[in-house]
Structure 1
Amino acid sequence: MLNEKGLAAFLRKSIRRHDVPGASFAVLRNDRIVRRAQAGVVNLDSKIPVTDNAVFQIGSITKPLTATLVMQLVDEGLVGLDAPLVEYLPDFRVARLDVSQTVTIRELLCHTSGIDGDLFVDTGRGDESIRRFMDRCTMVPSLFERGAMMSYCNLGFAALGRVLEVVRNKPFDQVMVDHLFKPLGMKHAFASPEHAIRFNCAIGHVPRSPTRGWQASTRPYLSFGQAAAGSVPSMSANDLLQVARVHLNGGRLPNGSRVLTGRAARAMQRRQIKLPRHAPHGVTGWGLGWFLMNWNGQRVYGHDGATIGQFAYLRIFPEKGVAVALLTNGGRAGLLFDDVCNEVISPLVLAEPPVLPAPLADQPDYRRFEGRYENMGSIVDIKCKKDRLLVSSTDRDTGQPGYKRALPLVFLDSGTARLDGGNAELDKIGWYFTNEDELGRPRYVQSGFRQLKRSA
């Protein structure tokens, strides 16, 4: 493994290559943080350097933290994993009454509720923001029957955040402080934006238009109503690894006290649903909050996070007693993380990160994949043109195209494809066609862990 000086030089070089304004990286091994490195700035306007305790938004890495807080309630007998959500939130409503009354805590934790999960609405600030968000869910549809498949569901974790508020009788951010940050000794972490001023905080950076380059986002946070799904919680790389450490140790803190029972910690890492072959990042399934991976036979769990111009990555290798965290504030962060995986993590854990296989030499008949697929966030059109299968997408909220042009798909097996448009980040994302109808046409396509349902 690179020494600290070499690691810092590597990180500086890699952020320049991928236009990342700033990054913080740390490695935990055998219960100790053994390497840390920072590079760049927290804000391109202020030019303040990224320091050891610089705080970044962790985005959806919040979900395993929220899951940890929910599992504490399970340990205490205050919540049942297989109990219906309405037992704790009697007023919970989505479009389907049967789903409203029967969806369980477990299904929300592992994204198998079938609820179309990408509702992004601004519900204001303050202690009532999550409650107000839940009031806006009444018309949200379902994509499939409960438990049938997996589709990433931010709404579900907002609901779990509301469960925490109701059962603990305190706002979500205070639950996180009292039951996670304080017990774990996390001193450079917050879950309420009012505390940001206390820290060296990174701001997300977005593409500058129409010229090239990046600029600090004028909008620092996503909806506060989605805090439990990842819109607000922020911390240093070092503090994020304290969460990893407690899970590596089966819920136990260094002083011997427990944040979770061993049974609960193991349950979070147990596969609840299997994902298709060649899923993004080599994810093979989902536990309770964690996604599960396989690096050449080595078990891995973790999560990624993305907010407005901030991208975060956490990987935990239980057989090696190793965890790594990378926090960034813009640019082509996914390619930076690829560099970190190949040059730093792989030599440390003696395993290679998963990669997609080469496309099939003989591509399948494209015609059965043609059609329109939709969910609440996107409309995707897939069409054959000149012996190529082209995909275009439209964002429902903005009406803007997801890609600058229609991009070709190439198949890796009979039902799995990836983009082949020459964009190193987009071309890693798999597209999984499933549930064929009587004509052999897929009823669903999954991309980025989200299901889209055929509508035409």
Structure 2
Amino acid sequence: MDQLALRDRLAGLAERHHVVGASVAVAVGDDTATAATGVLNLRTGTPATVDSVFQIGSITKIWTTTLALQLVDEGLLDLDRPLVTYLPDFRVLDEATTAAVTARHLLNHTSGIAGDFFPDTGRGDDTLARFTAELADLAPSHPLGATMSYSNSGFTLLGRLVEVLRGATWDAVLRDRLLDPLGLDAVGTLPEEALLRGAAVGHIGGEVTPTWGLPRCVGPAGLIHARAADLVTFARLHLADGVTASGERLLSAESAAAMREPEVAIPEPWTSGSHVGLGWMLFDWGTSVYGHDGSTLGQHAYLRVVPGPVPVVVALLTNGGDHDQLYQDLFTELLAEHAGVAVPPPLRPPPGPSDRTADDIAGTYERPSMTLVVREHTDGPVLIARPSGVVAASLGTDEIRGPLVPFAPDAFLTRFPGHPGWLPVVFHRLDDGTRYVHVSGQATARKET
């Protein structure tokens, strides 16, 4: 690989898409190239380098999944036994979910535990225990196992399970069981660790975010910071079915393979993959591709893994600007060149007008941290999103709206002001007849009057 060409291409695309700072790592077989461009912080102008750390957001979930599967390998955890077997004090508002939800439900996002529940339970080592206690009053987003809905809360709960079964904090278990064996000294979970490195800050609308990170309780779902090259090292562990470059086995081949097996179809298959494995998102791109994306406060990360005789890994970390367009352009080029994989083009509305109305989908859809309103407008159906709390902070607004343009059966595209890309929105009903909207990975039920 031509490292200088990679650097120049990253710089050109980042400038085109107004990305503040970015770092990329590309692995082809045993070779790795890295590049960085832009700045870590618009206030200070500190340059981004390949040794800078960025928040990887929800890519953290793959690391937490690996910790959980290590417990399975050691006979300490059965993915299909109720969580209350291991966490007897666990409960949510729905008694049926409390009694029957399993670690597998958490791993494949079918638990129905509301995904964007972000109480600040402090900086202490008891933060995950306190978070778990807070779940007692949380209503489900859907019945257990009824559909797939992306759940950050489920992975925080999974982190608590890891703590109880290991007798240590999730952060300590992560370092002991993965970071130290992989030699990942730059990877961390706490702000004071990031301060020891050149750390990126998030940007929304060209401004530094007022808060650097999410509450500590989000840790197992999304608080790891790392270099792009560190994600490649972690991905290679999975490409080798759990064996490090030095030959140490950290995960059984059976567990590594199970993480890549489809568990459940995603109702909206265009954004984050067509299926969920155990932790990994699986992409139907004409060949086997798995990976994950991550978003925090003004920082966004992307990881794609293409197994094969000459495996390819691409990791991209960003901290503001039109990150999705940078991902689209850069990964389209790199995966075509090095893996022969065609990344699907961005979704666009079909040509011509539509007479589709909002009659059967109109209404208010609610879940913690998000209200979605669908109504008819003079120009056709519109979607109004009203986030709150951490979700509003990550989006930089408490209300956004866009048109709903039909493009497939029960599927629409919307585009919000300031965002050039189109976002798919899928409407469907559960077996009990309840109307749901599925957008950005999460299922939200309509309030019936």
Q: Deviations over 1:63-109 (max 9, x none)?
A: 01100010000000001110111111111111112211210000000
Identity %: 37
- For residues 152 and 284 of structure 2, the distance between their equivalents in structure 1, rounded to whole angstroms, comes to 24
Q: Contact (CA 8 Å) 2:262, 2:282: kept in 1 or not? A: yes
Contact 2:117–2:368 (8 Å) recurs in 1: yes
Tell me whether 344-353 or 245-254 shows the greater mean CA deviation: 344-353
Q: Secondary structure at the match of 2:132?
A: helix
Q: Deviations over 1:372-399 (max 9, x none)?
A: 1111121111111225111112124499
Q: Aligned in 2, Cα 1:399/1:158: closer, same or farther, shift over 3 Å? A: closer
In the alignment, the residues of structure 2 paired with residue 333 and residue 240 of structure 1 have an alpha-carbon distance, to the nearest angstrom, of 18
SS at match of 1:118: coil
8 Å CA contact retained: 1:59, 1:304: yes
Map of 2:428 onto structure 1: 434
CA distance in 2, matches of 1:397, 1:324: 32
| 1:200-211 map, 5 Å | 200-207=198-205
**CA 1:39–1:417: 2 relative to 1, 3 Å:** same
Q: Distance in 1 between matches of 2:268 and 2:218?
A: 30
Scaled by the length of structure 2, the TM-score of the pair is 0.93
Distance 1:91 1:206, change over 3 A: same
CA distance in 1, matches of 2:400, 2:202: 26
1:180-259 equivalences in 2 (<5 Å): 180-207=178-205, 214-230=206-222, 232-259=223-250
Distance 1:399 1:227, change over 3 A: closer
Displacement after TM superposition at 1:277 (Å): 5.7
Give, in whole Å, the separation in 2 of the partners of 1:112 and 1:260: 24
SS of equivalent residue, structure 1 residue 101: helix
Name the SS for the 2:404 alignment partner: strand
Structure 2 residue 290 is the aligned partner of structure 1 residue 301: yes
Distance 1:398 1:205 in 2: 15
Aligned residues: 442
Name whichever of 377-386 and 360-369 sits farther off. 360-369
Output one character per residue of 1:328-380: Cα deviation in whole Å (capped at 9) or x when no partner: 11122111111212232322221211233653765544311211111112111
Q: Distance in 1 between matches of 2:294 and 2:403?
A: 27
Among candidates 144, 147, 155, match of residue 146 of structure 1: 144
Structure 2 alignment gaps of length 5 or more: none
Q: Which residue of 1 aligns with 2:368?
A: 376
Q: Is the 8 A contact 1:203 1:217 kept in 2?
A: yes
- Cα gap change, 1:9 to 1:72, in 2 (>3 Å): same
Structure 1 residue identity aligned to 2:240: N
- Write the distance in 1 (CA, Å) between the matches of 2:30 and 2:80: 33
> What is aligned with 1:211?
none
Aligned equivalent of 1:418: 413
| Selected match of 2:318 from 306, 312, 328 | 328
Q: Does 1:10 align with 2:9?
A: yes
Match of 1:343 among 324, 327, 333: 333
Query: 2:350 maps to what in 1?
Result: 359
Q: Secondary structure at the match of 1:8?
A: helix
> Separation in 2 of the partners of 1:215 and 1:422?
17
- Flag structure 1 segments of 5+ consecutive residues without an equivalent: 208-213
* Other-structure match for 1:317: 306
Aligned 8 A contact 1:29 1:321 in 2: yes
2 CA distance for matches of 1:19 and 1:194? 29
TM-score by length of 1: 0.92
Cα 1:192–1:403 shift into 2, 3 Å? closer
State the one-letter code of the partner of 2:139: P
How far does residue 405 in structure 1 lie from its aligned partner after superposition? 5.7
Is contact 1:75–1:264 with CA below 8 Å preserved after alignment?
Answer: yes
CA contact (8 A) 1:57 1:234 kept: yes
